[in-house]
Each structure stands twice: as C-alpha cells, then as structure tokens.
Amino acid sequence: MSTITLPVSLDASSALEFASNISAHAPELRVIIDFAEIRSIEPFGLLYVGAAIRAFFRERVGRGDGVQGVRAGEPAHEYLAHIGFFQWLGVQVGKSPGAVAGGATWLPVTTLTRAELDKRVAETGKQLGDVIQQECEHLARVVTQSNQLKATAPVAYCLREVVRNVFEHAETDRCVLCAQKCEDGAIELAVLDQGRGIRRSLEEQFQFTGDAEALRNALHPGVSRSLSTDPGNPWGNSGFGLYVLSELGRELGVFRVVSGQAALRLTGSETHEESAALCGTAIQLRLRRPKGVNLANYIEAIIARGESVSASGASSRASKSTRNFA
C-alpha cells in the first residue's frame, strides 16, 4: 500500500503537479489519498485535483483504494465537505454537489448536465443558448451575492462562454463548475469537463503537432471547429469566446486553459506553457475589475481588436452571442 499526500495549497500550480504525478502510483496494489495537509483551496485547484482523483479511482476499480486525513474542525476540510467536493469524488463525507446554493463568497461544486438543459429547452421552448444564459445568470448571482447587473453580468458572460464551448464542442454530457470571490476583490471562475479536449475538437478543421499548439490556436480570434454563417442566429459560433476570455484574464488577472498534455497561463504580457495531464478541458479565469472600468465597453474593445487581426480562414466577425454582454 502507498499513500499520496495532497499539497498544503490546492492552487493551480500545485494541482497541475499533483495530477501529473498521480499516475506513477498506478502499479501499486492499494493507494490511499491523504487530505491531512490541505489548508488552503482555490476553485481551479480543487476541480483539477478532484478530476485527477476521480479518474485514478475509476481506472482502479476493485483495488480497495481509499482516503484518509479528513478532519472535523479543520476549516479547509469542512469547506470541502460543505461544497460537495468529497461526495463528488465518491467519498461519503459532507454534502452532495448542488445540495447547498452557495455562500457570500463562493459557488459550490456544481454539475451542469446536457440532459437537464435539454429538459428546460423542451419545457420553455427556448434555444439552448438562452437556457445556458439563464443558468449562468443564476450562478453569477450566487457567487456575487448581488442582483445588480453591474456585478453579475461580467460573471454570467464569462461562465456562459465557457459552458457553451463545453456543450457545443467537447462531446460530453456534463461539466463541473466552482467559483469564489477572493479577499482582494477578484473573482475566480473554474470550469472543467472530461470530454474529447480542444485538440481533438479543432482537428476536424486544423492539424497540430501537439496539445500546446492546439491551445495556442484556440485562443486566436475566429478559430473554431465549426463556424456559423447565419447572421440571424443569435447563438451562432464565431470562435471568439475563448479569445475574449483569455484577453480579459491576461489584462485583468489570470487566464489558464488546460487540455490533454498541455496548459497555457496568460497574465499581463506573458504566456507560460505548463505540462498537464487531463482527459478533457479545464478553464481558470481570475478577474479583478479596476475601479471605474465598464466591462461591457472593455469586452467590445477586445472584440474589435480580434476582428482586426483574425486569421485567414477564420471568422472575422464575433457572433451576436459573444457581443451579448448582459
């Protein structure tokens, strides 16, 4: 039997390292995941670590693997239990995902399924894009604890663009989200799916030498596996969603995208390539709006820049949905 100890901080860098190393324990007869050292948690880190543990357990069914070190009275452990993290892993500790609505500064582990979205499409007669928009508006109100559009619209917009990508391109029936308002006033959003990944999706139209090249191209304006040519379709796909979010993160905080064996982290003028191990795609977006900045105007400026530089063969115009901020 071997023991895998989780890092003290479930931040993005630690999570990427943990997920890349967990597969080295695959030959072990029995493995115990030890949570005892965890003291701080970030949304992307907990989703990414959780996905790695879920995949590890799934591949080792019947080995008798388990967990230890979850301590009552330890704030970080109680937080993970309350937001549904352990139940998401299949460990019978704490609440189920979605059992609590959220708190003053956080959105719990939340699963969105295509079946539930399609059910609401059938019940309301609305398009899938409209249903996703409504759901993301609700989630934005939870994490911001506000009903004011000035506070909720930026969060809803960012969530919507990622969630739409999942159900339009990833060939999966679900994704999982988590969010938190940080002490410095920034909001971190994390969305993860375990679908086919960005490279496999884009290779319907493009060819790449590896996952990192696919990620770099996915962040260019107008790049998508399927572009809509119908100007009347309010939810047409123009390939601008990830571009807008990556530029927002670059200029106002941090944007990270992980898919397959590669990850890109954008902040300021720098783009860092990181190693990864994920069957699917994960997005981290941390934003801190400067005082007095109108994010709707900010996004319009990003879109205008993207339209002026979009690559040959890519869409040169952002869709109505990408422009629809509120």
pLDDT tens digits for 95-127? Answer: 998 888 887 789 999 999 999 999 999 999 999
**Positions of E strands within the chain:** 2-5, 9-10, 31-34, 40-41, 66-68, 106-113, 174-181, 187-193, 253-267, 270-287
CA atoms of 52 and 19, how far apart (whole Å): 5
State yes or no: pLDDT of 173 exceeds 90. Answer: yes
- Nearest Cα to 248, choosing from 322, 165, 149? 322
Provide the whole-model pTM: 0.92
Mean pLDDT estimate for the chain: 89
Question: What pLDDT was estimated at residue 296?
Answer: 82
Higher pLDDT, 45 or 233: 45
Residue 322's pLDDT is: 61
Where do the domains of the chain lie, and which CATH numbers do they carry?
A: 2-98 (3.30.750), 108-323 (3.30.565.10)
Residue 238: per-residue pLDDT: 61
Give the pLDDT score at 313.
47
